[in-house]
Amino acid sequence: MKKILLLGSGELGKEFVISAKRLGCYVIACDSYKGAPAMQVADEFEVFSMLEEAPLRAAIAKHKPDLIVPEIEAIRTEVLLDVEKEGFEVIPSARATNLTMNRDRIRDVAVGLGVRTAKFNYAESSDELLAQAKAIGFPVVIKPVMSSSGKGQSVARTEADIQGSWDYACAGMRGDRKKVIVEEFIHFEFEITLLTVRQRNGKTLFCPPIGHVQERGDYQYSWQPQGMSPEHLKAAQEMAEKVTADLGGAGLFGVEFFVTATEVIFSELSPRPHDTGMVTLISQNLSEFDLHARAVLGLPIPAIECVEGASAVVLADKEGTQPTYSGVADALSEPGVDVRIFGKPTTRPYRRMAVALAKGSQSLERARAAAAAGRRCSATTRSAIAAGPAAPTCASAAPPRSGSTATTAASTTRRWCNWR
């Protein structure tokens, strides 16, 4: 039995714990608040900020895990570099975790490997941000170098947007680095996440590409497989393999790309299961969480099988506690539909509380109509909430090219949440 120390206990961590425990693992889930989703299914839990060195070292020393598995970016990764030298194994590696904690470091790695990225630079003040934006050319996309779930991302279309974008990025930052990445606005046809699996013994594997729609820099819907040309898919796989091989270790990586009419452009990478990959809970024979567990444990992955599927997130629209849910029975009455409620104890605007999943082969037209219906539904939830300045909606992305009535079924469940 492997003992796993899970650093971060959100909804992705919860599904990983379930997959790992099915394979006989003992899991200690850590997060900054009690009752986090993964804690509800783990064997033990610890509550502390993983950005603080002392409690992180103490948890590792106390539990002496076989594997340390980060689930979030906001970790004092210098500690992981140290304990790896002491003999602890960090998944996929301490270097990978350290480099990907901040967007600037992994972007620099990609450029060093000759991987095509958007033009970009960094800024540590609003004045510096304005100068870099002028050099790149408006519009520009601005992101904190460290944030979770796309928080703090915006599009500055003119000089007048810069201060608001800087303030929005600072408000969405995690960690203690007040620094942003500013990059050219790519007029892409669609975005994909390419789930890439590095095995301990075996070749690197790829899941079929996942298409997704983002709003405010955060994923709203995803579908699998995303249709794309064989040439573009090969280019994405080659770039993903090049970057993940450089990072090393075993496990699943979520590698994001922009796809234009003529090329594929590297965007970001997470050395762990990806939020857009929640669709694999219904679209694949082995979910991204199953694949991550098997990869880190050195277990075989004989085949990855996929059917058409889609996911749609359920968002909170207010501050609150003790959330309740209605409409679940209606959602589950439709064949091929499933629901995952994360079990988060508190709510705040735009916080992900659940995901609806569905599978089934449908036409391109119905997939587009389903995605549009989902956006209309979510708009009613957001109407009373002030969005961040120029928050990107990825309006330049094309509607889904592949999907199912999954998204339609899922979108009907987006307003289950009620708060006391």
Looking at the annotation, which residues are catalytic?
148, 150, 256, 268, 275-276, 352
- The b-or-e profile of 374-384 (16+ CB within 10 A means b, else e) is bbebbeebeee
Measuring CA to CA, how many Å separate 139 from each of 66, 154, 155, 268? 47, 10, 7, 19
Contact 194, 257 (CB under 8 A): yes
Residue type, 348: R
Neighbouring C-alpha atoms within 13 Å toward the C-beta of 164? 13
The Cα 401–Cα 280 span in angstroms is 17
Nearest to 39 by CA among 3, 73, 10: 10
Long-range interactions of 164-169: CB distance < 8 A, separation 24+ = 164/388, 164/389, 164/390, 165/129, 165/389, 165/390, 166/123, 166/125, 166/126, 166/129, 166/142, 167/126, 167/389, 168/142, 168/388, 168/389, 168/390, 168/391, 169/142, 169/143, 169/144
Q: Residue 43: CB partners within 8 Å, gap ≥ 6?
A: 21, 26, 27, 28
CA 87, 75, 342, 44 dihedral sign is positive
Query: What does the buried/exposed string (b/e) look like for 314-343 if buried means 16 or more CB atoms within 10 Å of the residue's CB?
Result: bbbbeebeebeeebeeebeebeebbbbbbb
Q: What are the distances in angstroms from CA 256 to CA 23, 235, 264, 319, 345?
A: 29, 13, 10, 31, 30
Instruction: Give the pairing type, strands 346-347 and 337-341.
Output: unpaired
DSSP E strands in 86-145: the ranges are 89-90, 120-123, 140-144
Q: Is 162 exposed, middle or buried (0-12, 13-18, 19+ CB in 10 A)?
A: buried
d(CA 99, CA 79): 13
> Residue 67 pairs with which residues in a beta bridge?
4, 89
- What residue type is assigned to position 168 of the chain? Y
